[in-house]
Structure 1
Amino acid sequence: MSTLLTMDHLSRRFGGLLALDDVSVALKEGEIIGLIGPNGAGKTTFVNVVTGVLKPTSGTINFSGRQIEGLRPDLVARAGIARTFQIVQPFPRMTVRENVAAAALFAGGVPTREEASRDADLHLAFCGLTREADTLASALTLAGRKRLELAKSLASKPKLLLLDEVNAGLNAAEIDNALRLIAEIAAKGITVLLIEHLMKVVSRSCSRLLVLHQGRLVADGPTAEVMQDEGVIEAYLGKRFARLQKEITP
């Protein structure tokens, strides 16, 4: 697999707070990578810097052979990076189809409304929302809004898809469906970065795991190995719980 995105010595400072601290990482085409870390670790800042919402204080981002650090979010999206949001906020007075068609028009480069509508129907079918295509987005359940967010991101024709807590608030069956969709997306050659707090989700879906702690990348490797790393366990659970886990592990 060839490298799709490279971050070199990336930092982001907010006054005296170093939210990202000299992070270097490379993502390869078609990978499903998990990004985990305790609250305040820098996960959201990581995503916002990659997608152009925030400019890095220092460092570079190379995406598909092009330097993109500092580009506006719309230009980053057109370059091939899409994201979902943990708090899903579709256009409530537009139909489900219109929401996805808007993404196809403004981020996916589709030239006409008619073509965007046809494109939207393909993504809605993939995400299991065909029956809801003419429904107002505001009428969807939480699981439906999550699938709509995914369909919108796919309509932008991404090479890299950043999924921010896409499983938050879903039940077990809904999580299973979401993981199936994520696997099918990766099978299309799209690189997926899954920002997640449910360890059972990353263990099932991600072949590789990145761990942020206090803005620094403290682990990067195969998921099973990273999840057994004592430093990762301590960062996630605290010293006391890490010690207890070690005591009860055979």
Structure 2
Amino acid sequence: MTSLLVLDKVSKMFGGLLALDNVSVALQQGEVIGLIGPNGAGKTTFVNVVTGVLKPSSGSIVFAGRRIDGLRPDRVARAGIARTFQIVQPFPHLTVRENIAAAALFAGGSPTRAEAGRMADIHLAFCGLTREADKLAGSLTLAGRKRLELAKSLASRPKLLLLDEVNAGLNAAEVDDALRLIAEIAAKGITVLLIEHLMKVVSRSCSRIMVLHQGRLIADGPTADVLKDELVIEAYLGRRYAANQMGAGI
């Protein structure tokens, strides 16, 4: 099987700081993968080099058979990679529908405003925002803005969706709703990379976990195996979490 995304020995330097250190990974279509690690581990840098915000200092990135490292972010988005942001910033003075239509028009390749509006309606319904369609985006709750961010990213027609702390600040019921949406997105064949601190979210939604620590990929494998990995426990999870997982039979 040909991998959807392949990073081969990717490194990123900021002055004397090695933010990514020789990272090699491959993602397959339809996977839901967790990306975890302590603050400063390199998770945001990873996302930024994949999406074209940053150019790798070395190594290569191939997406859908095409080398993309060095492409501008808009070109990467048009190629089929979308992302959400931890700090959600919609266009506050546009309606919810207009925000999604703008993503469809400028990133999703919709040829006309009418088509962009049709795509917006589809993603409004999928993300449970139809009743809020004509509200100003700035009036939404945090959970509503998170759903809007997801709908905007889907309107760009991604093959790969990078979700950065999509559950941050949500209550338990809202997290459950978000996990349901993520599962439905993956069922459409879209690969999802979930950058997340909530381990209950990762363990419930991801079949595979990648772990970054000080810019290095220290683990990559099935969720159950990674959560018992000694390096991961020492670097990130801690002994108490590992003991609780064992007690729960995970």
Alignment coverage as a number of residue pairs: 247
Residue 134 (1) aligns with residue 131 (2): no
How far does residue 247 in structure 1 lie from its aligned partner after superposition?
A: 11
Amino acid at match of 1:45: T
The aligned residue for residue 47 of structure 1 is 47
The aligned residue for residue 33 of structure 2 is 33
Residue 242 (1) aligns with residue 219 (2): no
Residue 73 (1) aligns with residue 51 (2): no
CA contact (8 A) 2:84 2:166 kept: yes
Amino acid at match of 2:98: E
Distance 2:92 2:190 in 1: 28
Distance 2:226 2:16 in 1: 30
The aligned residue for residue 152 of structure 2 is 152
The aligned residue for residue 20 of structure 1 is 20
Distance 1:158 1:122 in 2: 15
Residue 183 (1) aligns with residue 208 (2): no
* 1:113-132 → structure 2 map (5 Å cutoff): 113-132=113-132
* 1:192-203 → structure 2 map (5 Å cutoff): 192-203=192-203
Distance 2:74 2:161 in 1: 15
| 1:137-181 C-alpha deviation (Å, 9 max, x unpaired) | 000000000000000000000000000000000000000000000
CA contact (8 A) 1:101 1:117 kept: yes
The aligned residue for residue 229 of structure 1 is 229
Distance 1:244 1:125 in 2: 38
Identical amino acids, percent of aligned pairs: 80
Structure 2 length as normaliser, TM-score? 0.96
CA contact (8 A) 2:6 2:63 kept: yes
| 1:78-133 C-alpha deviation (Å, 9 max, x unpaired) | 00000000000000000000000000000000011111011101001000000000
How far does residue 249 in structure 1 lie from its aligned partner after superposition?
A: 5.7
Distance 1:244 1:75 in 2: 41
Deviation >6 Å, runs of 4+: none
How far does residue 2 in structure 1 lie from its aligned partner after superposition?
A: 3.9
Q: Secondary structure of 1:53's partner?
A: coil
CA contact (8 A) 1:2 1:29 kept: no
Amino acid at match of 2:147: R
